Amino acid sequence: MIYEKALCFLDMPSIKNKDLCSKIQGENVNISCLEDKCLKAKFYKCEIASLSFVLALLCKMSDEKIFKDLDEGYLSAESCFGEEEAGDILEFLKKAQYLIIDENISFYKDSENIKYFLNFLSEKFKLKILDSNEQECDFKNTKLNPLKELDNYDGLVLFKANLEDKNLHCSKQFLQISKCKDQSEVEILAKDFNLKTTLCLDENLQGTIGFLNYENYGFDFTQIRIKEAK
């Protein structure tokens, strides 16, 4: 099955789901905080974990009456996803066929509202909602609730990635902020876990998000601190 004319909300599918990534062909759009160079889709950047606000903005701009209580300027500023960009996406949706979302959508903060907004867009533009396992989603029984504030992801962030090794792959900027050197043994300190690994500089990476293959059954992005291992 080849998917084209899809609006995707996928974080690094070439790492997380290579099979799906290869099936997304033709004219597509992806909205994420991370650009996946291997995904055949026009890229629009947003803040980490801001999907609820991005979708809220799209819904607000597609129906001012139903979503009159939402402030598009606030939604745009907080998610770093522009109103002009949202307008481009809404034009694309007029000819789109699919909305493709991460399989772990229930781990997203404000997942109920995310599902509600996805269902609204799917009904308005006659789109099929698929998850990253290519399973069709039915979000018809969801309700709109007050939007939850976005979490702050300033500083270093860990992204769960299906890599072949257990090293933490990161950018030069990540190394500078962590005050550690390439190939150094480090301890990762997160809210729910600590673990040791080796920093590995990847010249192709940018920003403050590092990639690591580790056990995590929650949201794929985690705020962390790093110190040299003893």
- Count structural domains, the chain: 2
Q: What is the pTM of this model?
A: 0.94
- For 48-97, how does the pLDDT look when each residue is reduced to its tens digit (9 = 90+)? 999 999 999 999 999 999 999 999 999 999 999 999 999 999 999 999 99
Q: What is the mean pLDDT of the segment spanning 95-117?
A: 95
| Structural domain ending residue among the three candidates 131, 148, 168 | 131
Task: Write out the residue range of the structural domain in which residue 199 sits.
Answer: 157-228
Any domain includes 151: no
User: In this predicted structure, which of 38-52, 76-90, 192-206 has the lowest mean pLDDT?
Assistant: 192-206
CA dist 159 and 153 (Å) reads: 12
Percent of the chain with pLDDT over 70: 100
Looking at the structure, tell me whether residues 21 and 127 fall in a common domain. yes
Do 127 and 163 belong together in one domain? no
Residue 120 and residue 43 share a domain: yes
What's the one-letter identity of residue 176? Answer: Q
Q: What is the pLDDT of residue 192?
A: 86
The CA distance from 114 to 55, in Å, is 7
The CATH number for 25's domain is: 3.40.228.10
For the stretch 212-225, pLDDT in tens is 999 877 899 999 99
pLDDT the model gives residue 204: 86
If asked whether residues 63 and 26 sit together in one domain, one would say: yes
Mean pLDDT of 103-116: 94
Within a 10 A sphere around the Cβ of 17, how many other Cβ atoms?
Answer: 18
pLDDT tens, residue by residue, 130-149: 999 999 999 999 999 999 99
DSSP string, 44-107: EE--TT-HHHHHHHHHHHH-TTTTTTS-HHHHHHHHT--HHHHHHHHHHHTT--EEEE-TTGGG
Q: How many residues does the chain have?
A: 230
Query: Considering the domain boundaries, does residue 137 fall inside one?
Result: no
In a domain, 148, yes or no: no
Do 181 and 108 share a domain, yes or no? Answer: no
- Residue 230 confidence (pLDDT) above 80: no
The predicted-structure confidence for 152-179, as pLDDT tens digits, reads as follows: 999 999 999 889 899 999 999 999 999 9
- In the prediction, which pLDDT does 38 show? 94
Residue 81 belongs to a domain: yes
Average pLDDT, the chain: 95
Specify whether 124 is located in the same domain as 170.
Answer: no
